[in-house]
Chain A
Amino acid sequence: MADSHATAVETAAHNPALLHHFADEQQQKDAASLGMWLFLVTEIMFFGGMFCAYLVYRVAHFNAFAAGSQQLSIGLGAFNTAVLLVSSLTVVLAVNAAQRGKRKQLVVYLVLTVVLGLTFLGVKAVEYAEKFEKHHVPGASFAFTESFDDNGKHIPVNPKEAELFFSLYFAMTGMHALHMIIGCGLFAGLAVLAWKGHYTPGYYTPIENAGLYWHLVDIIWIYLFPLLYLISRHS
């Protein structure tokens, strides 16, 4: 034991990234990644509350939710889904570049991820603007005159219930967008540090953990897209 202790102290002298309270780099890396996975669990529970609310109200007010869903633009939603999937690819490539110690590639992939994230947010802003124009934003000026188009059959719906759909739409996509903004900030910071050469094949835990976060935000969208945009379109 005394031996391993001595080696731990030695490696500490060699690697400034190793914090004093860990025995070795492997322990530090394992701790960081377990911590990140647990954080992702809390995120799932956080979004889980909203998914639960969505489920309850979709069952209770089916027609209104279907009518609300039909007012969303599938084209923009699908485009954004593609953008996020590609961004997950660039994140994986960034982690791979970090593992191989390719600094320039790493920076390029990190910047690409930020650009794709901002693209997503830009499209989201366009969609939100459209909601304002159509008075589909819950609140005093909310108006919903559309009906549920059930294979050509037009079923009128209660605007109050449609408002509930848009309440959840804004709460869920808004909370998701907030996570995207945080993620973009995170990756921009990582890109700067990567440019300065902070990360080596021996130490790239922050890239890996930020990648895990990004994938989770991506997966949440993968659920939001069908739940909000697609679920009422059947032919």
Chain B
Amino acid sequence: MASAAIPAHPATERTNYLTNGFSVKSWLLTTDHKRIAVLYLISITLFFFLGGFFAMLIRLELLTPASDLMHTDTYNKAFTMHGMIMVFFFLIPVVPATLGNFLVPLMIGAKDLAFPRINLLSWYLYVLGGILITHCMLTGGVDTGWTFYTPFSTAFTNTKIIEAGLAAFVAGFSSIFTGLNFIVTIHRMRAPGLTWNRLPLFIWANYATSLIMILGTPVVAITIVLVAVERLFHLGIFDPRLGGDPLLFQHLFWFYSHPAVYIMILPSMGIISELITAFSRKRVFGYNFVALSSVAIAVIGFLVWAHHMFVAGISLYAAMVFSFLTFFVGVPSAIKVFNWTATLYRGSISYATPMLYAFGFIGLFTIGGLTGLFLATLGIDVHVTDTYFVVAHFHYVMVGGVLMGFLGGLHFWWPKISGRLYPEGWAKLSALFVFVGFNLTFFPQFILGYLGMPRRYADYSHMPEFQVLNVLSTAGSSVLAVGYLLPMIYFVWSLRYGPLADANPWAAAGLEWKTASPPPTFNFDETPVVTWEAYNYDEIELKEQKEVAVG
């Protein structure tokens, strides 16, 4: 099929998706899900380093107790831009739009996503949102924090709320389209024989994520529209002076923005399931539980939003219900962690870089998840609300979880994406830097928060005893930065100098490894027929043993 479509090339050097056209137009107007994934990878990496730049500014400011690097107003803008860029332009799209886009059709044996042009549109929306937020940042920025709480955002601040809101709105539609595309593709485009209980867990995770994307994102979209019209036309929807209720804003905002953290973490959990099985050469322990726990997280995740509002003045009884539900959402997450650990038991484990990230993920996500249960406890939450304890908690989940998962996945599938192997030694070194740097940055913040250091303050000169822990944190963030810059360098280096990868360098199960690296434009020469269960590593090992015996 693919070779018939491009007859100009000789059969010896097969055209793959990377060599199928070299012009800028062939990239910018592509409808190939793999090329769109690469476009996303490049643009999301740019925003990651932009958001990281603001993170470094924050850490540098907090190196000393006084507000000396920047004015407190500038600091407000710095942490707002850090939050907005990292949440809307990195964490939400990072795994679904890059690895998800690349792998969902490959893993289910399809030629492309169901709606390739909508897929391209979603990338353009992402870029448009990115241009808006960059323009907003360069012409004055926003100082509300990424949460846009009213009435500050609608009646008081004179920064560029509407433009920043528009950026989030546009980027939101980008993720709605990705989610819609994934759900339709997973329902309608699976290869013959690939039943629901044979799907890779990465697909289950992306399916659950897509459900949240299409159910949650429209709500934050309309909330942003209401904030914008309130600012523009002085409608009183959230303004208490006009009869409105600022709590309603918080409810609507967190109805999306809490499930949004599951948009971020679920795809990474899917990656970890792939990594743990591939590097312990075992079928995942309790496939059905791991698969359905993703869906359970997506469903229960919609019922816990008000735990962000325990001190905002909601009724005590509502708070108790939300506290209980928040504990409850920990159950499916714990199921995943236990099942990954049980998968390792008596597996033949190898310590390649992706597996190091998977181990990192399990440890750090567990800490992040357990501290989330601290925060779900009403009494403790009152004590640590808006302190660095909260900051440390969600960075353990977001950075220790999402980012570790993404890096592990990127290393794992890099040979498939680029057709080249990355340098293993450097990769292990960078994984070490990331792990050490991460813990050094964020563990002290748990202590700081517990001792009472509030978040979002540039100046803590009335409590200079906090400086030691802040210096540790800033030092850790520099180590972390090195850990992030290294892969950037050696991945680019490997594009030219890395050894060529064969179709399945990890001897892994999964349809994506049954086609060439990099795959041809239409993924498979012939639509595969699936007759095996997911992660059939036992059968793969048996086959290898037989081959050795015969040989």
> Are A39 and B180 touching (Cβ within 8 A)?
yes
> Are B180 and A20 touching (Cβ within 8 A)?
no
Stretch at the interface among A28-36, A110-118, A119-127, A182-190: A28-36
Interface size class of A (residues with CB under 8 A): 35 or more
What is the bound-complex CA distance between A64 and B236, given in angstroms? 14
Interface status of B242 (Cβ within 8 A of chain A): yes
Q: Which of A49, A61, A168, A175 contacts B223 (CB 8 A)?
A: A49
> Are B236 and A167 touching (Cβ within 8 A)?
yes
The interface centre, meaning the residue of A35, A48, A139 with most chain B CB atoms within 10 A of its CB, is A35
Q: Which residue of B lies closest to A52 (CB)?
A: B252
Shortest Cβ distance from residue A200 to the other chain B in the assembled complex, whole angstroms:
22
Shortest Cβ distance from residue A196 to the other chain B in the assembled complex, whole angstroms:
21
What is the bound-complex CA distance between A160 and B222, given in angstroms? 23
Stretch at the interface among B109-117, B263-271, B393-401, B467-475: B109-117
Chain B contacts for A34, CB-based, 8 A = 183-184, 187-188
Known: A5-B526, A21-B116, A140-B234. A35 touches B244 (CB 8 A): no
> Are B184 and A168 touching (Cβ within 8 A)?
no
Interface status of A46 (Cβ within 8 A of chain B): yes
> Are B218 and A164 touching (Cβ within 8 A)?
no
Interface status of B313 (Cβ within 8 A of chain A): no
The interface centre, meaning the residue of A34, A52, A53, A171 with most chain B CB atoms within 10 A of its CB, is A53
> Are A43 and B116 touching (Cβ within 8 A)?
no
Shortest Cβ distance from residue A143 to the other chain B in the assembled complex, whole angstroms:
14
Interface status of B28 (Cβ within 8 A of chain A): no
Chain A contacts for B185, CB-based, 8 A = 31
> Are B215 and A167 touching (Cβ within 8 A)?
no
Interface status of A128 (Cβ within 8 A of chain B): no
Q: Which residue of B lies closest to A43 (CB)?
A: B218
> Are A161 and B252 touching (Cβ within 8 A)?
no
> Are A53 and B237 touching (Cβ within 8 A)?
yes
Shortest Cβ distance from residue A181 to the other chain B in the assembled complex, whole angstroms:
16
Residues of B at the A interface (CB closer than 8 Å) are 1, 110-116, 118, 176, 180-181, 183-185, 187-189, 192, 214-219, 221-223, 225-226, 229, 233-237, 241-245, 248, 251-252, 522, 526-527, 529
Residues of A at the B interface (CB closer than 8 Å) are 1-2, 5, 9, 19-23, 27, 30-31, 34-35, 38-39, 41-43, 45-50, 52-53, 56-57, 60-61, 64, 138-140, 158, 160-161, 163-164, 167-168, 170-171, 175
Task: Please list the 6 inter-chain residue pairs (A to B) with the smallest Cβ-Cβ separation, ordered nearest first.
Answer: A167-B235, A46-B218, A49-B222, A21-B111, A21-B112, A45-B218
